[in-house]
Amino acid sequence: MAVKFSNTFLLRKLHQLTGIIPLGMFYFVHLWTNSAALNGAKVFDDHVQDIHNFPYLLLIEIFGIFVPLVFHSVYGILISAEAKPNVLNYGYVRNWFYLFQRATGIFLFFFLLFHILNFRFGLIPGLNLIPVAGNADKAYSIVSGEFQITWVMVIYIIGILATAWHLAYGFFLFAVDWGIVIGEKAQKVVLYGCLSLAVMLGVAGINAAFAFVRPCGLLPTALCEEPHKAETNAPKKF
């Protein structure tokens, strides 16, 4: 006898999958690009230009990021609406994590709406009005201009921390929901791994954000390549 899939089952599995494969993968690329700012404006702008040079860029943007993101966030909000949080009576750690996952998800829905309008499209009135897309040469100056405004910087730091948590714990949830990690001991090991990943993603993300207001972010400048030095060391053109 064949097993029948219900719509809810398929949607949930798709929700778990979109969180990991397109969106999780994209976030690592995104963080990598942001971290390029540690080495100065030119290195960052070059990285952004490299992305602009991707073949099939628009298709990747639409089907690799936009569609999965809309599905994951809208369906995620529907899932969160089913929750009946009870952490006050059952204050177990995993029960708090259950609540965090939903709280960060709902926050990220609004944060990403802001973030995409702010940088990808430059459409938030009173803030940056130049889209980064198509203006790779201005990418660093756009972002660092925004991050001079304290409340914008604070919102981005909260957004980075929420993303770090949501993605890292999401890896754990994927592993248990697909029956990859089953036993109590194994879950503990994987959970600690995912929590360390959350810390690493959070620290790297915040450091990259500070790279737009201070050379080399929060690290001592000696640890970063100085931009002009990098240029002089570049091979001469013939």
Partner 1 sequence: MTTNAHIEKKRLDNPPASIKFKIQRREKEGAASHWETFEIPYRRNLNVISALMDIRKNPVTIEGKQTTPPVWDMSCLEQVCGICTMVIDGKVRQSCSALIDDLLLASGGDTVTLAPMSKFPNVRDLKVDRSKMFDHLKQVEAWIELDGTYDLGPGPHVTNELAQERYSYSRCMTCGCCLEACPQYGDDNYIGPQAIAQAHLFNMHPTGKANIDDRLNGLMGDDGITNCGNAQNCIKVCPMGIPLTKAIYETNRDITVNALFGWLKK
Give the binding site for partner 1 (CB under 8 A): 1-9, 12-13, 79, 82-86, 88-90, 92, 94-95, 97-99, 173, 176-184, 187
Closer of 12 and 42 to partner 1 (Cβ)? 12
Q: Considering the complex, what minimum distance in angstroms separates the CB of residue 75 from partner 1?
A: 12
Closer of 85 and 134 to partner 1 (Cβ)? 85
> What distance in Å separates the CA atoms of residue 194 and residue 24, rounded to the nearest whole number?
13
Look at the block and give the residue holding tokens 């943007």. 61
Q: Considering the complex, what minimum distance in angstroms separates the CB of residue 14 from partner 1?
A: 11
Q: Considering the complex, what minimum distance in angstroms separates the CB of residue 78 from partner 1?
A: 11
> What distance in Å separates the CA atoms of residue 36 and residue 45, rounded to the nearest whole number?
9
Q: DSSP 3-state helix, strand, coil percentages of the chain (rounded to 5)?
A: 75, 0, 25
> What distance in Å separates the CA atoms of residue 59 and residue 47, rounded to the nearest whole number?
19
Closer of 99 and 197 to partner 1 (Cβ)? 99
The amino acid occupying position 173 is L
Closer of 147 and 174 to partner 1 (Cβ)? 174
> What distance in Å separates the CA atoms of residue 211 and residue 21, rounded to the nearest whole number?
28
* Helix or strand run (H / E) with residue 105: helix 93-115
Secondary structure class of 97 (helix, strand, coil): helix
Residue 107: DSSP 8-state: H
Q: Considering the complex, what minimum distance in angstroms separates the CB of residue 82 from partner 1?
A: 6
The amino acid occupying position 10 is L
Closer of 99 and 203 to partner 1 (Cβ)? 99
Q: Considering the complex, what minimum distance in angstroms separates the CB of residue 236 from partner 1?
A: 55
